[in-house]
Amino acid sequence: MLAWMQRGRTKEPDIAPNAEENMRGSADTVEYTGPLLSVRGVERSFDVGHQKLKVLKGIDLTLYPKQLVMLKGRSGSGKTTLMNLMGGLDVPTKGEIIFRGQPLHEWDDNRRTAIRRKDIGFIFQAYALMPLLSAYENVELSMRMADVPRSEWKARATACLDMVGLAKRMHHRPFEMSGGEQQRVAIAKAIAHRPSLILADEPTAELDSQMAAQVMAVFREIVAKENISICMTTHDTTIMEVADHVYEMVDGVFVV
């Protein structure tokens, strides 16, 4: 079966010609088997007054399906700038961002927005929940926005909240929940439309160590069960052992 149909997709993505080497199977069983995301020689500069501020200075990163990778580095080293590029919120000054074989860096805003809605989920430090909606309604809202058929909302929202350990609290509103619980609702919300990539910017920064550990356990479970890859930034060295790979950024480049 087509990989994107296994994931509940009905539409075939257009794969760049250079992705052919990563295609396997016959015409009706073709499956994309390459990296989920490749960042190649990426640079990003910003105009600040009359000067150019070079923030990313040549980044290479490969993210495979079912991988949890972390970006660490001092404040200002360029982690968020890179995540914005990986999620198609921004485009590089130089270099390539290849997402499921498709050249994200060459696409206009509309096309990047479309793939972002379907295939990428974001989690932020501050949980980004609608305060007047229950946990369940928050998750449902994200599916509505991603054009998931209405008939799937109930089962999927319930399954996602169950996966993050909040089945019994799905009708509570954010202010009735702890920070860790709110972040788990944000995770359920981010995975509900079945993206293949989750980008999380400091998802544990506001949490104590026990809640942070719970969130990381949920991330590991999602990677294993949902066929999702996660790339997250963190300053917290205690959670880094959970990662499949940790990239350390110093002044716009990775160090090993």
Binding site for ligand ATP (CB under 6 A): 46, 48, 53, 55, 73, 75-81
Closest approach, Cβ 76 to ligand ATP, in A, equals 4
Pick between residue 48 and residue 155 the one whose CB is nearest to ligand ATP: 48
Pick between residue 53 and residue 114 the one whose CB is nearest to ligand ATP: 53
Helix (H, G, I), strand (E, B) or coil at 33: coil
CB 231 within 8 A of CB 199: yes
Pick between residue 217 and residue 250 the one whose CB is nearest to ligand ATP: 250
What CA–CA distance (Å, rounded) separates 23 from 20?
5
Please name which of 167, 149, 147, 169 lies closest in space to residue 158, comparing C-alpha atoms: 167
CB 63 within 8 A of CB 57: no
Residues 189, 35, 86, 250: is their CA dihedral positive or negative? positive
Closest approach, Cβ 200 to ligand ATP, in A, equals 12
Closest approach, Cβ 112 to ligand ATP, in A, equals 17
Closest approach, Cβ 252 to ligand ATP, in A, equals 8
Closest approach, Cβ 74 to ligand ATP, in A, equals 7
What CA–CA distance (Å, rounded) separates 195 from 5?
13
Pick between residue 170 and residue 230 the one whose CB is nearest to ligand ATP: 230
**For 98, phi and psi rounded to 5 degrees?**
-110, 115
Inter-helix orientation angle 150-163/179-191, to 10°: 140
Pick between residue 26 and residue 51 the one whose CB is nearest to ligand ATP: 51
What CA–CA distance (Å, rounded) separates 26 from 24?
7
Pick between residue 78 and residue 92 the one whose CB is nearest to ligand ATP: 78
**For 39, phi and psi rounded to 5 degrees?**
-110, 120
Closest approach, Cβ 83 to ligand ATP, in A, equals 8
Pick between residue 126 and residue 132 the one whose CB is nearest to ligand ATP: 126
Amino acid at 170: M
CB 187 within 8 A of CB 219: yes
Closest approach, Cβ 246 to ligand ATP, in A, equals 14
